[in-house]
Amino acid sequence: MLHIINKSPLQTRTLETCLRTMQLGHALLLIEDAVVGATSGSATEAQMRQACATFKVYALQPDMDARGLTGRLIEGITLVDYGGFVDLTLAHSTSHSWL
């Protein structure tokens, strides 16, 4: 399953809730304001580093670029472009968009 989060972890607990429900073989994609959670120095850095040890974690590069955060990407998180986003949805039989 591909989990897609678009809300900032500074505004909601969606990322935290999602990480608790993820299982082996699942992947996480951060888009829009959720990419804040993919940055070093963020309040969620420790959680994200732990998630990277167990799951594949991705962040949408255009959203990172738009927010000037690309240089602060946490090691272990893979940047994807829009084509990569599509590839991830095709690679996973189901996806869940966290609202």
**What is the dihedral angle through the alpha carbons of 25, 94, 90, 75, rounded to the nearest 10 degrees?**
-40
| One CATH from 1.20.1300.10, 3.40.1260.10, 1.20.1260.10, 3.40.50.150 for 2-94 | 3.40.1260.10
Give the SS3 label for residue 75. coil
pLDDT recorded at residue 71: 96
User: pLDDT digit string (tens) for 13-52?
Assistant: 999 999 999 999 999 999 999 999 999 999 999 999 999 9
User: pLDDT digit string (tens) for 84-93?
Assistant: 999 999 999 9
Domain boundaries, the chain: 2-94
Give me the residue label for tokens 């962040």.
Answer: 59
pLDDT recorded at residue 30: 98
Residue 88 CB coordination number (10 Å): 20
User: pTM value?
Assistant: 0.96
